[in-house]
Amino acid sequence: MAATSVILLLCSLFSGILAKDRVPVLIWNNNQVKDNFPAVPALQAIDYATFQSKYLANFDAKNIILFIQDALSVEDLSSHPSEFQAVDKWMTESHSLYLPNVEEPGHLTHDLASHGYNVVSLEPGVPAAGLDLKQQDNNLVVVKLPSTLTNPSRSHALQKAVEVMQNVISKIGAKREFTFIFTGLKPSVEDTSSKYDGRVRVRRAAEIPQEQGFHSESCVKMYFKQNFTFQIYDKTGEV
């Protein structure tokens, strides 16, 4: 029982190390009938598989324009309403869905290619008019928005990103029915939990009462996004 207790505790600790970045995802299609999706709680994490199979599948997306920003957080959307006014208009007037907390949605770039999509990338500064879209195939247009992390003004950076989105939609969005997705590669707001000291003190297995089960012991589940030192101490405080 003692050994099992230590193993379970270690598993709970190390599960946080593998935590993935979570970012908001906005999806809309102005050619589809508006539907009322159930509200998604802001704190509910959605893994990539669920995102694709449960949420994106509702749009039956044959052609997708994926706008990828280098960093995006819910704080950007809530703190900069004027910069995202156009995005809000697209969402309001379309069949749309807002998911605040999705794990690594950028995997769509590689995943949809393996599902037969014709993937075309549009880098910052490259004209959108000359994109090679296949008439008979499903198309994924990956639009890499201008960097926001290197811009000293967050507001200006977000405004420039939306301007690029407007330009792309005006140039190719009207050519056929597209489902639009806006997301980021990583959060733009630092996770303050990473600032905590990464040292953990745990009693040796021999000191854990064997007559009590694991759930009888007081414990806490901790998540770490950076490297930490793990040491086990006995009752005297020695390693």
- Note whether 133 and 207 are same-domain residues: no
- Note whether 86 and 136 are same-domain residues: yes
Note whether residue 81 is domain-resident: yes
Note whether residue 239 is domain-resident: no
- Note whether 158 and 65 are same-domain residues: yes
Query: Binning pLDDT at 50, 70 and 90, where does residue 136 land?
Result: confident
Look up tokens 């589809």; give the residue: 32
Tell me the torsion sign for CA atoms 183, 184, 185, 188.
Answer: negative
pTM: 0.72
- Note whether 122 and 200 are same-domain residues: no
pLDDT at 69 over 90: yes
- Note whether 167 and 90 are same-domain residues: yes
- Note whether 88 and 54 are same-domain residues: yes
Note whether residue 189 is domain-resident: no
pLDDT at 190 over 50: yes
pLDDT at 212 over 80: no
Note whether residue 104 is domain-resident: yes
Lowest mean pLDDT among 99-103, 187-191, 193-197, 225-229: 193-197
- Note whether 70 and 11 are same-domain residues: no
Note whether residue 36 is domain-resident: yes
What is the full DSSP assignment across the chain?
-HHHHHHHHHHHHHTTTTPPPEEEEEEEETTSPP--PPPPPTT--B-HHHIIIIIGGGG--SEEEEEEES---HHHHHH-TTTTHHHHHHHHTSEEEEEEEEE-GGGHHHHHHHTT-EEEEE-TTS-STT----SSS-EEEEEEPPPSTT-S-HHHHHHHHHHHHHHHIIIIITTS--EEEEEESS-SS--GGGGS---EEEE-GGGS-TTS-GGGS-------SS---EEEE-TTS--
- Note whether 112 and 218 are same-domain residues: no
Number of domains in the chain: 2
pLDDT at 220 over 90: no
Summary mean pLDDT of the chain = 78
pLDDT at 5 over 80: no
- Note whether 165 and 180 are same-domain residues: yes
Q: Which pLDDT score is estimated for 238?
A: 59
- Note whether 212 and 134 are same-domain residues: no
Query: Binning pLDDT at 50, 70 and 90, where does residue 189 land?
Result: confident
Note whether residue 207 is domain-resident: yes
Alpha-carbon distance values, 1 to 5, 162, 207 (Å): 6, 57, 12
Note whether residue 177 is domain-resident: yes
- Note whether 60 and 10 are same-domain residues: no
Note whether residue 238 is domain-resident: no
Provide the residue range defining the domain that includes 198. Answer: 2-16+194-233
User: Phi-psi bin for 32: left (phi > 0), alpha (psi -120 to 50), beta?
Assistant: beta
d(CA 212, CA 210): 5
* 223 or 93, greater pLDDT: 93
Query: Binning pLDDT at 50, 70 and 90, where does residue 44 land?
Result: confident
- Note whether 38 and 141 are same-domain residues: yes
Q: Which pLDDT score is estimated for 70?
A: 96
Q: Which pLDDT score is estimated for 201?
A: 47
